[in-house]
């Protein structure tokens, strides 16, 4: 089992969700986050007072998948979250030691 | 406040009936006009709406999220406190007697204000309504000052300062200009409060911003507004309310009120367009904050002139307001590094000053019987300058002394920790989630 964490541009969520559903990913967790990478922040001006905004709004998607479709999931996210502009985001993949569905007590791959 | 409004409405309705069924036995009430009374009740409600929720939203939208409720609390507290003090003695000290410096206490707690009484300044509406209308001006003037010290003033100190400021700055100035005092007697023109409301509040705010000092993180941290859409809504309420502010200052439902409203509306439009255009050319984008700032600048600047000038002068005054107030908020403030948080001085102080002077330029004999500079009466401009000098000096000096006095009893600012955590939690124990 793998945990795929993707930081993407907020307006790309629907495309990514749809594409992941099509390859059999049955659930995801989405969090509104702020951060920065290579993309610089921007400057806002309020009555002449300039503020540099370093942290830009992004979405953080987490999906837990069977190891054999992790690569496919990464591929699908990359294809659908990509605009080619700076700030498209990043994807991290980590192993999952255990998984458990709280309602039924099912474990590991049955719980995904 | 609601009780006052209801009472005035009943009084006004009764007065109307009395007028309709007037017999010679009620001769002294014949002067009360149902039309004037009806309009002035509406105008009173409009001006109260300018403070709550107008100013509360306008200000709260421009502060950070942690200070939104505390900023609204300042407007709310001004309504509650000043209303009661106005009835207790404010009205009497401003609008009775003809002393050059101060009125009398004859009408304290509305003693002598009856169903039939009128104030000599407004003979066609019940005195109770005149009192109520003028109350709403005192409220918004005190509430305006708070914008300069947003994000850092201790609530208890703000309450003490507000009471003192109302007593020692607003009451004398209002009497001098409107209540039969020496400025009005000298011929200084101020239709709806360029001196009494805007310059006095702006100058007081500037002093308060200097005395309290800059906000923590000023110039280094991001102090950007929490939700400018609230400020846009607030501006809309202020703008519409201003029809009652300036139109109501005619104290009657007549052509002068309508002329004042047209000039007011045009000035707001011209101010918004001017500020936005300047930003567009200088910064390549017209900001929403810029457009609403320009609108409020135009409204504040036309205030002293509105009942004295022809409608077209509203456009000229609005454009001037947009340019001068933009300069005050974006250059003057940063040049001298005072943290007038919500630009009370830059918008209202400078606007009131410029508008009062321009009243002396554009005053039209056809509208008000007095000519200004362009109709060949330069003396009026000098009179306006006199009014500006007196108001500015009085507000600056008294505000400074008052703040020093209050700070002897309670610190003006919250602690650094409380400022960082926000005034909502530290002053009121609640917060936006």
Confidence of residue A50 (pLDDT cuts 50, 70, 90): confident
pLDDT in tens, B142-152: 999 999 999 99
A42, A47, A51, A55: best to mutate for the B interface, most B CBs within 10 A: A47
Q: What pLDDT score does B42 carry? A: 98
Given the structure tokens 């986050």, which residue do they identify?
A: A33
Which member of A44, A47, A51 has the closest CB to residue B329? Answer: A47
Write the DSSP assignment of B119-154 as a string of letters. Answer: BTTBTTS-HHHHHHHHHHHHHHHHHHHGGGGTTTB-
Q: Is the pTM of this model over 0.80?
A: yes
Return the percentage of chain B with pLDDT > 90, whole number: 90
Confidence of residue B220 (pLDDT cuts 50, 70, 90): confident
Label each residue of A31-89 as H, E or C.
EEEEECCCCCCEEEEECCEEEEECCEEEEEEEEEECHHHHHHHHHHHHHHHCCCCCCCE
pLDDT higher than threshold 80 for residue B219: yes
Q: Is B175 touching A (CB cutoff 8 A)?
A: no
Provide the token pair at A88: 């498209």
Q: What are the domain boundaries of chain B?
A: 2-428
Q: Is A41 touching B (CB cutoff 8 A)?
A: no
DSSP assigned state of B113: -
Q: Is A47 touching B (CB cutoff 8 A)?
A: yes
What is Dmax (Cα atoms) for chain B? Answer: 73
pLDDT higher than threshold 80 for residue B8: no
Q: What pLDDT score does A42 carry? A: 85
Distance of CA B70 to the CA centre of its chain: 20
CA distances from B155 to B51, B160, B422 (A): 18, 9, 12
CA-CA distance, B271 to B288, in Å (whole number)?
13
CA-CA distance, A56 to B181, in Å (whole number)?
57
Provide the token pair at B25: 């036995």
> Which residues 6+ apart lie within 8 Å of B330 measured at CB?
A47, A48
| Size of chain A in residues | 112
| Sequence-distant contacts of B327-334: CB under 8 A, at least 24 apart | B329/A47, B329/A48, B329/B293, B330/A47, B330/A48, B331/A48, B333/A48, B334/A48, B334/A49
Q: What pLDDT score does B202 carry? A: 98
Whether B225 and A46 lie within 8 Å, measured CB to CB: yes
Report the mean per-residue pLDDT for chain B.
Answer: 93
Average pLDDT over residues B209-219: 95
A44, A46, A52, A54: best to mutate for the B interface, most B CBs within 10 A: A46
Distance of CA B283 to the CA centre of its chain: 31
Question: Which residues of chain A lie closer than 8 angstroms to B283, CB-CB?
Answer: 45
**Closest Cα in chain B, distance from residue A46 (Å):** 7
Q: What pLDDT score does A40 carry? A: 76
pLDDT higher than threshold 50 for residue B17: no
**Greater model confidence, B319 or B2:** B319
CA-CA distance, B224 to B74, in Å (whole number)?
20
> Which residues 6+ apart lie within 8 Å of B185 measured at CB?
B100
> CA-nearest residue of chain B to A54?
B222
CB pairs under 8 A between A and B: 28
Q: Cβ distance B290 to A47 under 8 Å?
A: yes
Range of the domain at A42: 2-111
pLDDT in tens, A32-49: 999 998 877 788 889 988
Whether B222 and A53 lie within 8 Å, measured CB to CB: yes
Give me the residues of B, 197-256, that contact A with CB < 8 A. Answer: 222-225
CATH 3.40.50.970 is the classification of domain B2-428:
no
Whether B334 and A53 lie within 8 Å, measured CB to CB: no
Instruction: Tell me which H or E stretch contains A30.
Output: strand A29-35
CA-CA distance, B122 to B39, in Å (whole number)?
13
CA-CA distance, B84 to B128, in Å (whole number)?
14
In this structure, the number of other CB atoms found within 10 A of the CB of residue B322 comes to 29
Report the mean per-residue pLDDT for chain A.
Answer: 93
Question: Which residues of chain A lie closer than 8 angstroms to B346, CB-CB?
Answer: 47
Q: Is B416 touching A (CB cutoff 8 A)?
A: no
pLDDT higher than threshold 70 for residue B9: no
Confidence of residue B231 (pLDDT cuts 50, 70, 90): very high
> CA-nearest residue of chain A to B335?
A48
Provide the token pair at B381: 């401009």
Burial category of B86 from C-beta neighbours within 10 Å (exposed 0-12, middle 13-18, buried 19 and up): buried
Average pLDDT over residues B269-290: 97
Q: What pLDDT score does B158 carry? A: 98
Question: Which residues of chain A lie closer than 8 angstroms to B284, CB-CB?
Answer: none
pLDDT higher than threshold 60 for residue B11: no
Q: Is A48 touching B (CB cutoff 8 A)?
A: yes
CA-CA distance, B44 to B8, in Å (whole number)?
10
> CA-nearest residue of chain A to B223?
A51
Average pLDDT over residues B78-99: 97
Which member of B289, B331, B346 has the closest CB to residue A46? Answer: B289
Question: Which residues of chain B lie closer than 8 angstroms to A57, CB-CB?
Answer: none
Whether B222 and A49 lie within 8 Å, measured CB to CB: no
pLDDT higher than threshold 90 for residue B54: yes
CA-CA distance, B397 to B401, in Å (whole number)?
6
> CA-nearest residue of chain B to A49?
B330
Whether B330 and A48 lie within 8 Å, measured CB to CB: yes
Give me the residues paired with residue A30 across strands. Answer: A61
Q: What pLDDT score does B27 carry? A: 39
Confidence of residue B129 (pLDDT cuts 50, 70, 90): very high
Instruction: Tell me which H or E stretch contains A94.
Output: strand A89-95
Domain count, chain A: 1
**Closest Cα in chain A, distance from residue B226 (Å):** 12
Q: What pLDDT score does B30 carry? A: 54
Give me the residues of B, 328-347, that contact A with CB < 8 A. Answer: 329-331, 333-334, 343, 346
CA distances from B65 to A39, A53, A104, B325 (A): 26, 16, 42, 26
**Closest Cα in chain A, distance from residue B347 (Å):** 11
Provide the token pair at B273: 């367009």
* Ranges B126-130, B181-185, B216-220, B231-235: which has the least confidence: B216-220
Confidence of residue A112 (pLDDT cuts 50, 70, 90): confident
> Which residues 6+ apart lie within 8 Å of B410 measured at CB?
B154, B156, B157, B160
Q: What pLDDT score does A38 carry? A: 84
Whether B330 and A44 lie within 8 Å, measured CB to CB: no
Whether A46 and B334 lie within 8 Å, measured CB to CB: no
Q: Is A52 touching B (CB cutoff 8 A)?
A: yes
Give me the residues paired with residue A58 across strands. Answer: A33
CA-CA distance, B257 to B337, in Å (whole number)?
40
> Which residues 6+ apart lie within 8 Å of B336 measured at CB?
none
**Closest Cα in chain A, distance from residue B222 (Å):** 5
Provide the token pair at B379: 């003396």
CA-CA distance, B242 to B54, in Å (whole number)?
10
Provide the token pair at B204: 């007081």
CA distances from B419 to A60, B74, B214, B380, B415 (A): 32, 16, 12, 47, 6
CA-CA distance, B152 to B139, in Å (whole number)?
21
In this structure, the number of other CB atoms found within 10 A of the CB of residue B20 comes to 8
Q: Cβ distance A66 to A1 under 8 Å?
A: yes
pLDDT in tens, A70-110: 999 999 999 999 999 999 999 999 999 999 999 999 998 88
């Amino acid at each position: 089992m793998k945990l795929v964490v993707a930081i993407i541009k907020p307006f790309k969520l629907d495309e990514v969700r749809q594409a992941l559903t099509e390859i059999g990913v049955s659930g995801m967790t989405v969090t509104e986050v702020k951060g920065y990478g290579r993309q610089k922040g921007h400057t806002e001006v309020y009555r002449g007072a300039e503020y540099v905004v370093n942290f830009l709004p992004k979405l953080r998607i987490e999906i837990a998948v069977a190891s054999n479709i992790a690569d496919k999931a990464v591929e699908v996210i990359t294809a659908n979250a990509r605009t080619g502009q700076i700030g498209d985001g990043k994807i991290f993949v980590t192993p999952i030691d255990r998984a458990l569905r709280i309602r039924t007590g099912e474990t590991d791959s049955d719980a995904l | 406040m609601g009780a006052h409004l209801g009472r005035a409405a009943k009084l006004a309705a009764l007065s109307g009936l009395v007028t309709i069924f007037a017999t010679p036995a009620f001769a002294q009430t014949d002067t009360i006009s149902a039309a004037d009374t009806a309009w002035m009740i509406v105008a009173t409600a409009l001006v109260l709406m300018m403070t709550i929720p107008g100013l509360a939203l306008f200000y709260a939208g421009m502060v950070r999220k942690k200070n939104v409720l505390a900023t609204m609390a300042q407007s709310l507290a001004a309504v509650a406190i000043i209303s009661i003090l106005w009835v207790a003695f404010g009205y009497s000290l401003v609008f009775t007697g003809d002393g050059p410096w101060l009125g009398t206490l004859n009408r304290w707690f509305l003693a002598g204000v009856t169903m039939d009484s009128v104030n000599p300044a407004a003979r066609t509406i019940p005195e109770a309504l005149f009192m109520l209308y003028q109350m709403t001006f005192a409220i918004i003037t005190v509430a305006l000052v708070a914008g300069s010290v947003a994000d850092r003033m201790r609530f208890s100190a703000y309450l003490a300062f507000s009471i003192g400021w109302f007593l020692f700055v607003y009451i004398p100035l209002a009497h001098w200009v409107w209540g039969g005092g020496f400025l009005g007697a000298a011929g200084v023109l101020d239709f709806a409060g360029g001196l009494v409301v805007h310059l006095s509040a702006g100058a007081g705010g500037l002093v308060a911003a200097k005395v309290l000092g800059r906000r923590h993180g000023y110039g280094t941290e991001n102090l950007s507004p929490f939700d400018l859409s609230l400020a846009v809504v607030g501006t809309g309420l202020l703008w519409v309310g201003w029809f009652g502010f300036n139109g109501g200052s005619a104290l009657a439902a007549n052509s002068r009120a309508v002329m004042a409203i047209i000039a007011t509306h045009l000035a707001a439009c011209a101010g918004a367009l001017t500020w936005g255009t300047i930003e567009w050319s200088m910064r390549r984008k017209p900001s929403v904050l810029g457009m609403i700032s320009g609108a409020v600048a135009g409204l504040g600047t036309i205030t002293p002139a509105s009942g004295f000038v022809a409608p077209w002068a509203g456009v000229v005054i609005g454009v001037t307001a947009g340019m001068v107030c933009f300069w005050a908020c974006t250059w003057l403030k940063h040049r001298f590094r005072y943290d007038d948080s919500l630009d009370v001085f830059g918008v209202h102080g400078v606007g009131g000053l410029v508008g009062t002077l321009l009243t002396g330029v554009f005053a039209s004999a056809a509208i008000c019987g007095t000519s200004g500079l362009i109709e060949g009466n330069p003396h009026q401009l000098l009179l306006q300058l006199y009014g500006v000098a007196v108001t500015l000096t009085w507000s600056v000096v008294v505000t400074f002394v008052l703040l020093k006095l209050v700070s002897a009893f309670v610190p003006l600012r919250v602690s650094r920790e409380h400022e960082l955590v926000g005034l909502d939690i530290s002053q009121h124990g609640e917060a936006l989630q």
